[in-house]
Chain A
Amino acid sequence: MTDVTMIVNGQVRGASVPPETTLLQLLRDNFNLTGAKLGCDVGDCGACTVIVDGQAVNSCLMLAGQAEGRQILTIEGLASRERLHPIQTAFENSGALQCGFCGPGVLLSAKALLDENLNPSTQEIRDALSGNLCRCTGYTKMIEAVQDAARLLREESRTQLTHARTEATAP
């Protein structure tokens, strides 16, 4: 057995699992985080996408042992208790998901993109989502939703900046 400890959605989680356990199996079967989906299980479909140390990866292609000591973000950790994440709001507003199976992976790929680039071009969005197969939507509304999410996040960071400035200059 391999003992693993990692931070999942801000919480320290640990388990003892057989070495051949993938990160995806660990998340779903041990931590009951079933947002990441088992699709192709060979890294083609992106339904299992999670963010590890800031990077989107296929959790079906990582052994649980490789995630030891790392920071994992799954779809369950995207919203706060108070509100949805702006990417979720944008996807809801655009009606960008249909059956939703690919959704957790798509949203996390979008998050990984927007964490690096708040002003992505359509081509950059297509590139970032090319590892997430969606058989319902045809992607058009997803791309709109990511553009909308980028706008919401830009506005948010502008507001935060203004607040910070006001506070800094307050007597």
Chain B
Amino acid sequence: MKAFGYVSAKDLEHAITLLGEHGARAKILAGGTDLLVELKHAVHNPEVIVDVSRLHELKTIAVADDGLHIGALVTHSDIMNSPVIRDMFPALVAAAHSIGAMQTRNLGTLGGNLVTCVPSMDSGPALIALDASVTVANAEGRRRMPLAELFVGPRKTSLKPGDLLVDIVIPKENLGKPAAFEKFGLRKGQALALVNVGASFWVGDNSVFVAPRIALGAVAPTVIRAPKAEAFLDGCKISAEVMAEAGRIAAMEAKPISDFRASADYRRDLVAVLVKRALANAQARATAKEKELVA
């Protein structure tokens, strides 16, 4: 790695001050699983590294009035081990578990995964399917925006120098919403997604889809929604046929590329299969929750 200055932020206020001071000359170090690789490959050549990995205030998982707050420095292992997330959002646990291996999940953070903004990120689809938003802090104050607005393009976010991602918020109306995450890679361990999918919906009266959401990863410059498939499902009676049709519609909405991992056609076919599976999986969760409530 090329030489750089290093400063460890003591708390959030200190971090914001440091980032304000150093602006575009600084890179933020959280879990380091992506940043250190990029520094070794000289993708970035920052003058200073602002290490935020000790900010305890960004490591909490808590339900507040407006929803579930997950600190940006919560690691993928923390998500897998969190009783609150395991109970409310098994889809987020599945997404976290599918990232890297134990060693990288112990280091890598949710916020870090989102801001790397690679199209195949595994944290994005389930969160987008749950209408998550993010809180960003800088010297001027804080702002909240939909997670989708963080994503601009491959490895490009809407964050400006001096900005720090603080937390990820799932709105309170979606707490416990049945959701699922599906991923297909070339191996079971340490594989990037060829396609990953997040889906969620409420089961309405007479077993119809209410507020269906479908998010697709690795098939467009950023994680995208599949609005036509969602509109098709909305108000439809829940059935395996309808889920399969939603998959076919979503496949047409995907804009995958061909690369050494898979062809665009193969990825499009995977979208159809994974959307169907994710919807079925979310339905199974809804049924299980219902049984829990009855018992």
Residues of A within 8 A of B (CB): 2, 18-20, 22, 41-44, 46, 49, 55-58, 60-63, 65-66, 68, 109, 112-113, 126-128, 130-132
Q: Name A's interface SS.
A: mixed
Enumerate chain A residues within 8 angstroms of B101, measured Cβ to Cβ: 46, 130-132
Partner of A61, one of B4, B6, B37, B190: B37
A44 CA / B33 CA spacing, docked (Å): 10
Given contacts A19-B6, A130-B190, contact A57 B51 (CB under 8 A): no
Cβ–Cβ contact A43 & B100, under 8 A: yes
- Which residues of B have CB within 8 Å of A20? 1-4, 6, 39
Minimum CB distance partner of B188 in chain A: A130
How many chain B residues touch A (Cβ–Cβ < 8 Å)? 28
- Assuming the contacts A62-B107, A65-B51, A131-B189, asked whether A56 and B36 have C-beta atoms less than 8 A apart, the reply is no
B51 touches A41 (CB 8 A): no
- Chain B residues positioned under 8 Å from A131 (CB to CB): 100-104, 189-190
B32 interface hit (Cβ, 8 Å): yes
Interface SS of chain B: helix, strand, loop or mixed? mixed
Q: Which single residue of chain A is at the shortest CB-CB distance from B5?
A: A19
- Residue pair B40, A56 in contact (C-beta under 8 Å): no
CA distance A56 to B37 in the complex (A): 18
Q: Is B135 in the interface zone, CB < 8 Å from A? A: no
Q: With A43-B33, A43-B37, A61-B107 in contact, is A112–B102 under 8 Å at CB?
A: yes
Task: Kindly list chain A residues whose C-beta atoms are within 8 Å of the C-beta of B51.
Answer: 63, 65-66
Give the interface centre of B4, B103, B104, B188 by most chain A CB atoms within 10 Å. Answer: B103
Contact present for A61 and B102 (CB under 8 Å): no
Q: CA of A66 to CA of B32 in the docked complex: distance in angstroms?
A: 10
Interface status of B106 (Cβ within 8 A of chain A): yes
